[in-house]
Structure 1
């Protein structure tokens, strides 16, 4: 069975934080009623006119609201901004509080200003990330840890806090570029694929992960993948609505250099530019596209972004309920595969 999750969005800072939290709780309630089994949230600091509620305390609170089968995930936390001991203990506590339902999705970070604000050298983020990925499993599983790294030194420390999950929470490493995919293959339990990746790009990345896991003697399992999209009564309505709510954020991401999509094309020909990855259409069309994705690639869960900063909480909840009614049941009927269909390397979904 292929599972589906929701990726919660950032919101404008014009919405008071208490109302933001209330909206998140409403969305989570709608998502679990709709049959989604993963709740994921990202992270940024000092994000200007938009706000993320910080994921560790938020997910700890949401653990009291969700059913036992629903997993809570960070997708992603900016790992290099943390000291590894602080991060290991925060996340172990979160795993305890969620009763072993936590997945740690982490990434490199791409906003230099966040690193500047927190006095962490932006150019060191890759080496810091690698060192964290080496050190955290040790802090979660070993009785005594000695570590002499480039950035951190630990001498005979005795961790006092272990996660509930054995040996530790699943680690998803997210990345846009192949060096980051190789990092996931080397250190992680899964590669969390970004929503802008095409089927051929996902296939290439999955092959890298598969090869890296084989070199580690680690079994390859279906991998999480994010998708952006829109469901409506007609294809034309879905296209128009997706352009209305999502084009501004795609343009903003391109302006920061977060993704390699062409800024001019996003502004001039948005729907044509995103057609190679966005899942847009009627319920039947969306189910068909996700079915094609899951029958070509080893994906599970599919994490869908139902909301954008331009949408109200009511609109997001309505989108979640529609997905639950019209899309989730069809996806759940699919069997997750563990190999890559050869045609995936060259054939788009639509």
Structure 2
């Protein structure tokens, strides 16, 4: 399970000015980033104490990006009803670039009548505006020369700039309160679902609707679910409850006031049942939300138990988003809570195996789940390390290391595979996933006449170009941005095709990854499937296709995928090294045409 923090400003401007509120929030962002939290999230609301300090979540998230290195930045959520899709798409692309591909975008319909009234927007058009707006933004992020002739927005062929850093676009979410239609629509669109923990039984039914729609639409896996909770953690249960009770009650009073139009005669066909729902929320207090686990309050042990219990009762969720400085809570106490939870509860919840992992079909899903989480943490740590070098020495040569590129200095794998490979002298070589370019440039230095170095990460392509020029072989190393073989000329073949794979298996539904993360993990082994399917078609007669794998990968699944592709895997060489606190064996495997794996060679 991933756990992050979210900000829902419930602030009286006469009591706390915006400057102080956001300074407190950004201090918490920096703290959460260092403790290993997953994300920071913030809302879009207007004109009222309830949320009004955040009319544009992208502005705050840009500041949060500057104060963090690893946190995902999540809009929770932007409102298409009040925004032009051209403006939204451009801002999304810009924040994705500024943050180095850490953005995730949540969309919501809006539900407060006073906001619609002030913007002059008919609430009965809410659903249509949402559907049209999300579709337009998604197309603008994915395609170029997009023209829209809609009911609410029209524009000629337009290419939104900047283009998103994450391709085809940042991960998308849809916020839903209680409408079954909203849950179904999110599943059909292939978006994650953002929700609040209402009654567990009702949440289970809505999540079943969401997952059934997801699978019926042909999307892989079972979707992603994020639930938002109030959270306060303290060393003593009663102390935690005493601290949290009045701030939670103040937040609930503010919500009831902001939504009071629903109970005063306002109605809309696009919001069936909202009067009754708001009446129920208005009757809530600290004790009722605590009883249904909408507030997580207590010691670290208490909160872990509360999360796990609600997870089981509601049918499971992948992400918890925690309000940590809600309403009138003392910012010093909020900070203490974030630290205590981060140190004592967060590691335990992150080690829990989400249902999406259990469905991958692995022999030891729990250990693989722990392994991919550990690998993602290594990715985040390596990007944020203060001692991350701009240059490094490997194989008796000096190399440049660009930001956002896999650092060979933190793993023995690059040097091991360089030593295990028999580089073709006078021939040609394709390296998939070139990273900093150590192997590709070394091949050219060893006498390889033509080297093509590809990577899905444009920073890695530029890094390899720099190192090829540095060592005087730029004329023999062609660097190209490509996802596997996609950007290569159709009939181009090589004497050696080599891929040092991202061998750690992650859940197929895991989409919130940076290009840097993809150097560490492969969701659902999608990249491995493509390599097994296509590599041999790129090999000249008498040549070789080699896969650099590891004991940290899922060997059994690799064997099955090779058999499905009609490929045999045979051992070439292996070497065991110690990394951190455990032994890792790196294996060089040869692909050949066959019905399956050869004699357990991948093992």
Q: TM-score range by the shorter chain?
A: 0.7 to 0.9
1:162 and 2:163 correspond: yes
Match of 1:306 in 2: 324
Find the partner of 2:292 among 276, 280, 291: 276
- Unaligned runs of 5+ residues in structure 1 are 342-350
Match of 2:4 in 1: 5
Match of 2:306 in 1: 289
For the residue of structure 2 that corresponds to 1:227, the secondary structure is strand
For the residue of structure 2 that corresponds to 1:21, the secondary structure is helix
Kept in 1: contact 2:243–2:329 (CA 8 A) = no
Shift of 1:237: 2.9
Shift of 1:263: 5.6
For the residue of structure 1 that corresponds to 2:66, the secondary structure is coil
Shift of 1:340: 11
Shift of 1:222: 3.6
Kept in 2: contact 1:227–1:305 (CA 8 A) = yes
In the alignment, the residues of structure 1 paired with residue 333 and residue 8 of structure 2 have an alpha-carbon distance, to the nearest angstrom, of 13
Give the greater-gyration-radius structure (CA): 2
Structure having the higher helix fraction is 1
Change in 2 beyond 3 A, CA 1:50/1:333: closer
1:204 and 2:220 correspond: no
In the alignment, the residues of structure 1 paired with residue 289 and residue 225 of structure 2 have an alpha-carbon distance, to the nearest angstrom, of 25
For the residue of structure 2 that corresponds to 1:197, the secondary structure is coil
Match of 2:195 in 1: 193
Kept in 2: contact 1:41–1:74 (CA 8 A) = yes
Find the partner of 1:237 among 233, 236, 239: 239
In the alignment, the residues of structure 1 paired with residue 226 and residue 347 of structure 2 have an alpha-carbon distance, to the nearest angstrom, of 18
Change in 2 beyond 3 A, CA 1:169/1:159: same
1:260-306 residue CA offsets vs partner (Å, 9 max, x unmatched): 46367436xx4045411232332212111222344564422211111
Change in 2 beyond 3 A, CA 1:289/1:261: farther
- Aligned pairs for 1:1-350 (under 5 A) are 2-10=1-9, 11-13=11-13, 14-48=15-49, 51-53=52-54, 54-67=56-69, 69-177=70-178, 178-194=180-196, 196-219=197-220, 220-255=222-257, 256=259, 257=262, 259-260=277-278, 262=280, 265-266=283-284, 270-272=286-288, 274-277=290-293, 278-294=295-311, 297-338=315-356
For the residue of structure 1 that corresponds to 2:255, the secondary structure is helix
Length, aligned pairs only: 336
Change in 2 beyond 3 A, CA 1:281/1:340: farther
Match of 2:494 in 1: none
In the alignment, the residues of structure 2 paired with residue 237 and residue 12 of structure 1 have an alpha-carbon distance, to the nearest angstrom, of 26
In the alignment, the residues of structure 1 paired with residue 230 and residue 211 of structure 2 have an alpha-carbon distance, to the nearest angstrom, of 25
Shift of 1:167: 0.7
Deviates more, 1:242-251 or 1:43-52: 43-52
For the residue of structure 2 that corresponds to 1:104, the secondary structure is strand
**TM-score relative to the length of structure 1:** 0.87
Kept in 2: contact 1:222–1:298 (CA 8 A) = no
In the alignment, the residues of structure 2 paired with residue 325 and residue 266 of structure 1 have an alpha-carbon distance, to the nearest angstrom, of 31
In the alignment, the residues of structure 1 paired with residue 110 and residue 51 of structure 2 have an alpha-carbon distance, to the nearest angstrom, of 17
Structure of higher RCO (CA pairs closer than 8 Å, 6+ residues apart): 1
Shift of 1:230: 2.9
Shift of 1:109: 0.7
In the alignment, the residues of structure 1 paired with residue 210 and residue 343 of structure 2 have an alpha-carbon distance, to the nearest angstrom, of 34
CA RMSD of aligned residues (A): 2.4
In the alignment, the residues of structure 1 paired with residue 310 and residue 347 of structure 2 have an alpha-carbon distance, to the nearest angstrom, of 16
Kept in 1: contact 2:290–2:297 (CA 8 A) = no
- Unaligned runs of 5+ residues in structure 2 are 263-273, 360-603
Kept in 1: contact 2:93–2:161 (CA 8 A) = no
